[in-house]
């Protein structure tokens, strides 16, 4: 445990940030599961609708540096590929 007052404050602040970031990442995973569920059920309209939500969440989290921007772009491209492949099946 920190002894200096500013170190204690920093610990509290980082703990608060960690809780916020983990809740945002959890929200992202929940929305991604909805997209994957729609893809497995081969419902392209629902998958596209959910994908738009995920896309905006990914952009927001990347902008706030909760996740890396390349990771956000990788998720978006992989999801869009899977959704686009639904029509060819």
Q: Any idea what DSSP says for residue 82?
A: H
47-88: pLDDT as tens digits: 999 999 999 999 999 999 999 999 999 999 999 999 999 876
Report the distance separating Cα 12 and Cα 6, nearest Å: 10
Instruction: Give the H/E segment covering residue 87.
Output: none
4-54: pLDDT as tens digits: 999 999 999 999 999 999 999 999 999 999 999 999 999 999 999 999 999
What is the pTM (predicted TM-score) of this model? 0.83
Task: Decide: residue 82, CB within 10 A, 0-12 exposed, 13-18 middle, 19+ buried.
Answer: middle
Residue 47 near residue 39, CB atoms below 8 Å: yes
Domain 5-84 has CATH 1.20.58.110: yes
């Amino acid at each position: 445990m920190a002894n200096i007052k500013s170190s204690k404050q920093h610990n509290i602040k980082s703990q608060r940030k960690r809780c916020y970031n983990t809740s945002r990442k959890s929200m992202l995973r929940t929305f991604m599961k909805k997209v994957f569920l729609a893809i497995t059920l081969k419902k392209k309209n629902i998958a596209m609708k959910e994908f738009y939500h995920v896309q905006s969440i990914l952009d927001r989290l990347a902008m706030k540096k909760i996740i890396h921007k390349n990771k956000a772009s990788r998720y978006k491209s992989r999801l869009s590929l899977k959704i686009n492949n639904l029509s060819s099946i």
